[in-house]
Amino acid sequence: MLNGQTVVIIGGTSGIGLEVARQVLAAGGKVVVGGRDGARLDAAVAKLGDGADGAVVDSSDKASLATFFDRIDGLDHLFSPGSSYGRGPFAEISDELAESPFRSKFWGQYYAARYALPKLAPTGSVVLMGGAYSARPPADGGAAYAACNAALEGLGRALALELRPIRVNVVAPGLVDSDLWTKVTPEVKAHNFAAYTADALLARAGTTAEIAQSVLYLMTNGYTTGSVLYPDGGFALR
């Protein structure tokens, strides 16, 4: 399905990105994974094995993105889930934290696509990482984060138009049981998973394998561009 194709995954050293890397290799492709932490990067490349390469990159730093893409000869697909941000109630959140989703998740992916573009195959694609909070914002606070995910959907449609025939799509998952949740306290994780289970039609969080399958679909279906795919267990419907 991806025979001989190169997929660059910024944020491919953990969670959803790492699982996408595994599925790309299983589909016959090659991967270049990126992340900020060198030790995590080395461990991911070693775990992925044959067909995997990697380099340190911080997507919130344009110079770092330029260096990262300088060493890549060419790529067929870009997936850019690597970001770090916070959210909180509108009336209480600091400006710094409120602005973090746009700084990291929106502009990080915008510039990743910008620096990748000269090396992207015309038959290739970009998959942007959004989130289902675009359609159904979190009840416990996250206005800027919800808006950031909605902005990424707009960016995907605009880039699909401007970059054609390169295809550009957005994956917008609901809650995913990924490594991300090892970075919060067990209480915060339990609160988020209980609320999501109560809200989603399928009454559970998603798996990284399910989200990765959606990403590979967007990469490989040659007639899909400008789309947003919601692997969210029906969360946005209720």
Ligand X SMILES: NC(=O)c1ccc[n+]([C@@H]2O[C@H](COP(=O)([O-])OP(=O)(O)OC[C@H]3O[C@@H](n4cnc5c(N)ncnc54)[C@H](OP(=O)(O)O)[C@@H]3O)[C@@H](O)[C@H]2O)c1
Instruction: Name the residues that contact ligand X, by CB under 6 A.
Output: 10-11, 13-17, 34-37, 40, 57-60, 81-84, 104-105, 108, 129, 131, 173, 175-176, 178-180
Residue with tokens 């390469």: 53
**Nearest approach, Cβ of residue 159 and ligand X (Å):** 17
**Nearest approach, Cβ of residue 122 and ligand X (Å):** 26
Contact 229, 172 (CB under 8 A): yes
State which amino acid sits at residue 138. Answer: P
**Nearest approach, Cβ of residue 96 and ligand X (Å):** 15
Position of minimal CB gap to ligand X: 15
Of 1, 3, 53, 19, give the one whose Cα is nearest residue 178: 19
CB atoms within 10 A of CB 91: 6
**Nearest approach, Cβ of residue 54 and ligand X (Å):** 10
* Nearer to ligand X (CB atom), residue 2 or residue 172: 172
Contact 193, 28 (CB under 8 A): no
Supply the DSSP symbol for 100: H
* Nearer to ligand X (CB atom), residue 47 or residue 164: 47
Residue with tokens 């916070």: 86
* Nearer to ligand X (CB atom), residue 127 or residue 163: 127
* Nearer to ligand X (CB atom), residue 2 or residue 16: 16
